[in-house]
Amino acid sequence: MKRLIVGFAIAVAYFTSIQMAVKIAAAGEVASGFVTCMNVLSDSNLALGIYGNRDCSLVVANHSGRVFQTAKLADERLRNFMRTPLNDQGFVICGASSPRSDAQAVGIEGGEISIWNAVTNGFSHVGRHPPRVLCLGWSATGVLASGGLDGKVILWDLATKKNRSIEVTHEHGVRSIAFSPDGSLIASGGEDGKICVTSMSDEKSSVVLETPSHTPIDSLTFIGNSDMLASGDTSGNLVLWDTNSGKKLGRLGDSIFAVANLVPVAGNSGDPAFLLSSHNNGMVRLWDVRTKKEIDSVNLHCGMIRALAYDKRTNIIHVASVNVGLLALRFGEQELLQIDPMPPMQLHEDASIRRIQRNLFKTRVENR
**pLDDT digits over 338-365, tens only?**
775 444 333 232 322 222 222 223 222 2
Give the model's pLDDT for residue 214: 83
Torsion sign over Cα 314, 319, 324, 325: positive
Q: What is the pLDDT of residues 234-289, one digit of tens each?
A: 999 999 999 988 899 999 987 778 898 999 987 665 566 899 999 988 999 999 99
Q: Are 89 and 80 in contact (CB under 8 A)?
A: no
* Coil vs helix vs strand at 315: coil
Kindly report the CATH number assigned to the domain that includes residue 183. 2.130.10.10
Using alpha carbons, select from 175, 239, 180, 240 the residue that is nearest to residue 206. Answer: 180
Q: Cα(316)–Cα(334) distance, rounded to whole angstroms?
A: 13
129: nearest Cα among 106, 159, 105, 150: 150
- Model pTM greater than 0.85? no
pLDDT for 221 equals 96
Mean pLDDT of the chain: 76
Find, among 46, 26, 32, the residue nearest to 352 by Cα: 32
Show the CA angle centred on residue 225, arms to residues 219 and 231, nearest 5°.
20
The greatest distance separating any two alpha carbons of the chain, rounded to the nearest whole angstrom, comes to: 70
Q: What percent of the chain has pLDDT over 70?
A: 74
Residue 291 lies in domain: 2-364
Q: Structural domain tally of the chain?
A: 1
pLDDT tens readout for residues 114-144 = 999 888 888 888 999 999 999 999 999 999 9
For residue 301, with 0-12 CB atoms within 10 Å meaning exposed, 13-18 middle and 19 or more buried, which class applies? Answer: middle
